[in-house]
Structure 1
Amino acid sequence: MSFSDQLFDFEFDAAHTLKKVSYVCVLIGLMISIYVIFRESYNNETRIGTVLETVLDAIITIDEKGTVQSFNPAAEHTFGYSAAEIIGQNVKIIMASHDSGHHDQYLRNYMTMGEAKIIGLGREVVGRRKDGLEMPIELAVTEMYLGNRRMFVGSCRDITQRKRAEQNILNRTRELEVANAELDAFAYSVSHDLRAPLRGMDGFSQALMEDYGDSLGDEAKNYIERISNAARRMGRMIDDILTLSRATRQEMRTEDVDLSALAYEHFSELRARAGEREVVVEVAPDMLVHGDAKLLRVVLDNLINNAWKFTGNNPTAHIEFGCYEDGDETIFFVRDDGAGFDMAYGDKLFGIFQRLHSMTEFEGTGVGLATVARLVGRHGGRVWAEGRVNEGATFFFTLR
């Protein structure tokens, strides 16, 4: 063998060896790539599995034929089947009969025509547990591909408690509508049927005094006057009850309201009727809120009237309407230095027909503060009071 032949054989062997090495390198590279892909796939599947194991909603996957492929623990809890029992079954097994009858057709329509009755749409359906119990289900279905396999993922949530709550609200609303209708009938009866006898009592009492007053003794005149006063007081109570009924049932129309302006206006009206009475009034400026102007006027009128009335025995009375901040809450107050009240009986202040002073001391029907409490409550607020006997009272309220 010549030297050139030996050199050729050596070069051939070297090239062949390099070729083998390159094959091995490529193979190793492929194996590494496969390993990386497998590891990432495994990690992804692990993460997905962890999510499915811990998510609160029932997650069910099915294939194109509706056969269940996976059934997470939440689905087991919701439907009462174990995953082993349900995987491989048609998903219709967990549907109520009127829904299961349409399911296969929905799938066929979507597969052939793209008509989405359930895919990509949230809807309410009726599910059926293993024990036969049916329940309302909120269902959302999405489509996905695993390789070339088309799969569908259903997310289910048992909304039994929510539907019960909605039904309770509906029932309560109907009860309130009935109660409001009864109140309307009562208000009409009070307004029309009870006023006539009261007017008769007052009118006949005055007629007796005018026609026979000279021949009546003092005791008889006193009785007639008491009858007339009682009729008028009952008339005022009827007016206050109707005001309370209307104010607590009328539709609220909210807007920006200047409480300071409302207070100034009402104090001006009271001063015009006060004669020689001396009252020092303080009103904080620019107390702006958002609420129903008519209802808030009723609130302020009652609170200011209350302060005005119970300072009636003071030589010089002092009434203040203001506000202050307590955290993120604005607290409004009407303060006076009048008769005050015993805090031991403070819980009675806002009850209808509740009075802490006798009629001989201060007139009133016991409805005004009850009206205040109702209207403040309609504005999402609260009302309370502090006082001392013969040292005055402060009424506080908040609004939202």
Structure 2
Amino acid sequence: MASDWVWSTDADHRYTRIGEGLRTHTGIDPRRLLGRRPWEHAWDEYEPADWLKYRGHIEQHEAVTLQLSCRAGDGSVHHLELIGRPMLRSGEFAGYQGIGRDMTEQVATERALQESQQRYFEVVEAVNEVIFRTDTVGRLSFVNGVWRSITGYRVEQSLGKPLVDFFHPDDRADAEQQLLAVADGRLPECHYELRLRTREGEIRWIEAACRPITDAAGNKLGLAGTLDDISSRKVAELTLKNINQELEARVRLRTAELEASNRELEAFSYSVSHDLRAPLRAIDGFARILEEELDTKLDSTSRSHIERIRKATQRMAHLIDALIELARLTRQSLHKETFDISELALQVIEEIRAEDPERKAEVEITRALIVTADRTLVRVLLENLLRNAWKFSAREEVAKISFRAERERERRVFCIADNGAGFDMAFASNLFRPFHRLHNATEFAGTGIGLATVQRIIQRHGGVIWAQSKPGEGARFYFTLGG
């Protein structure tokens, strides 16, 4: 390399030659070292015991690699690497010759990556859920420290064992089918509740969520997900089931307490969402600095790692934004007014078309549909449903999207329909749950919050929402706005 310099010693290990590259990189005059042995110079961060080990190698005339630190004239510390091999003349040992190089930037990069990994580890260990990862056959390859507090098993005891082995025997078969469906691509992700048996024999309810993980080439690496201890929630649910009519007053009181608790939890989640932004910005910022400052020195693997870090932080930031918006819509008061919802739908469609003018789409909107509702929230509702219709029909040669209303008994039902990808109704119960997506993120982008937001808005208006669909035959979303 252009930054390397040559050096050599005599049979007594005294330097006989040191290239000018040492001066170029460190400011140290090579002539100061000539005639001296390596350990006779005042290097930084090198202990006597290290020199004894090094001298043992060179006394045996072995190939050596020596890593040193030195302080330049301007006070900066440089990290050097000296690589040498013994020289023989007429079969006799004549000294060493080799090359030296300045490793300062590489050392700085490695330390920065270690610090980034440490920060990531601290975040992972700070959450209240088990974070896990499995290999391609379902064996645990990583769990965070929360694993022991929930299961009682030490982390090192658990790694390499099948995840399903820790589940309750009655739940293992179903859990294994769910995990297999995600692993082989039949499901983009899974969320389910099951029981877990702890080391002490205690039964705990957990909520499991997982999705497949792949490498940069798309090869399957296993599964990654979370396990949340919901035992307390399950106990509360079972308790409520056993309450009879004579305890109605206590049920009302308990319901009020739960609602207050939910409001506190919602406020807490909002606060936590804001607090999560700071470490995300730090992670993304340091990754960007590494990418910019080490641009020409990064190999493809390091560059891929940095890119994955930045994409992950950006994806998490989008999820946080969606959560905050969902919390805001849930809390804000309703301001009802009478307006034409058809005109609002037309405005949304025009905005969508402007963003994607090349798309061929036939949009049919029934005119003069008058409603009394919160205009701002209804616009959010229409944006989510119409953008979904636009997104999931993107693969059609000509997308067909409609918005109409029909009378069903005493209520008016609105419908937004498309001819897009559709979905399997077997999974329809997950449609309106936050972060539950029926399509892989690589097929259709999204946060998994949109339909949950729509449902909250409709519920606040005293309405309901449901869907009908078949894979490949589009989807129809029906909703009412109360009244």
**2:410 aligned partner, one-letter code:** D
The answer to whether the 8 A contact 2:465-2:477 is kept is: yes
* Whole-angstrom CA distance in 2 between matches of 1:314 and 1:221: 36
Question: Is 1:259 the equivalent of 2:331?
Answer: no
Cα offsets for 1:228-275 (capped at 9, x unmatched): 111111111111111111212222222213211221111122122114
| Alpha-carbon distance in structure 2 between the residues aligned to 1:171 and 1:254 | 31
1:185 matched to 2:268? The reply is yes
Work out the CA distance in 2 between the residues paired with 1:304 and 1:227.
32
TM-superposed CA distance for 1:305, in Å, is: 1.5
Q: Which residue of 2 aligns with 1:230?
A: 312
Query: Given that residues 381 and 457 in structure 2 are in contact (C-alpha distance below 8 angstroms), is that contact kept between their aligned partners in structure 1?
Result: yes
1:306 is matched by which residue type in structure 2?
Answer: N
- Does residue 389 of the first structure (1) align with residue 471 of the second (2)? yes
Correspondence for 2:413 among 325, 331, 345: 331
Residue 369 of structure 1 is aligned with which of 420, 442, 451? 451
Instruction: State how many pairs are aligned.
Output: 239
Deviations 1:48-83 (A, max 9, x none): xxxxxxxxxxxxxxxxxxxxxxxxxxxxxxxxxxxx
Map 1:80-229 → 2, pairs under 5 A: 169=252, 172-173=255-256, 175-191=258-274, 193-229=275-311
Give the TM-score taking structure 1 as reference length: 0.55
For residues 297 and 188 of structure 1, the distance between their equivalents in structure 2, rounded to whole angstroms, comes to 26
Cα distance, 1:326–1:164 mapped onto 2, change above 3 Å: same
What residue number does 2:398 align with? 316
Match 1:303 to one of 385, 392, 406 = 385
Offset of residue 210 of structure 1: 1.9
How far has the Cα of 1:301 moved from its partner?
1.3
Describe the shift of the 1:275–1:186 C-alpha distance in structure 2 as closer, same or farther (beyond 3 A): same
Q: CA deviation at 1:358?
A: 0.7
CA distance in 1, matches of 2:406, 2:307: 47
- 2:434 corresponds, among 326, 347, 352, to 352
Uncovered stretches (5+) of structure 2, i.e. residues with no partner: 1-244
Distance 1:202 1:185 in 2: 25
SS in 1 for 2:415: strand
Cα separation, 2, equivalents of 1:385 and 1:325? 17
Q: 1:388 corresponds to which letter in structure 2?
A: K
State the AA in 1 paired with 2:296. D
Larger radius of gyration: 1
Counterpart amino acid of residue 187 in structure 1:
Y
CA positional deviation for 1:167 = 7.3
**1:249 maps onto 2:331 in alignment:** yes
Match of 1:273 in 2: 355
Structure 1 residues 390 and 217: CA distance shift in structure 2, 3 A:
farther
Q: Which amino acid aligns with 1:176?
A: E
Q: TM-score, normalised by structure 2?
A: 0.46
User: C-alpha offsets along residues 213-235 of structure 1, whole Å, 9 cap, x if unaligned?
Assistant: 32222232222222111111111
Question: Per the alignment, do residues 220 and 312 of structure 1 end up closer, same or farther by CA in structure 2, a change over 3 Å counting?
Answer: farther
Tell me, yes or no, if structure 1 residue 343 matches structure 2 residue 425: yes
The structural deviation recorded for 1:187 is 0.5
Change (3 A) 1:250 1:177: farther
* Distance across 1 between alignment mates of 2:299 and 2:420: 38
Whether 1:399 aligns to 2:481 is yes
Partner of 1:128: none
Following superposition, the deviation at residue 197 of structure 1 comes to 1.3
Aligned residue in 2 for 1:90: none
Q: Partners in 2 of 1:200 and 1:219 — Cα distance?
A: 22
Residue type of the alignment partner of 2:384: N
d(CA) in 2 for partners of 1:166, 1:286: 47
Report the counterpart of residue 282 of structure 1 in structure 2.
Answer: 364
8 Å Cα contact 2:404/2:414 also seen in 1: yes
Q: 1:14-29 to 2 correspondence within 5 Å?
A: none
Give the share of equivalent positions with the same residue, in percent: 40
| 8 Å contact kept, 2:273–2:323 | no
Per-residue deviation, residues 277-328 of structure 1 (Å, max 9, x unmatched): 2222221111111222222222111111111111222232121111111222
Equivalent AA in structure 2 for residue 288 of structure 1 = I
Shift of 1:163: 12
Cα 1:177–1:306 shift into 2, 3 Å = same
Q: Distance in 2 between matches of 1:323 and 1:164?
A: 43
CA distance in 2, matches of 1:257, 1:180: 31
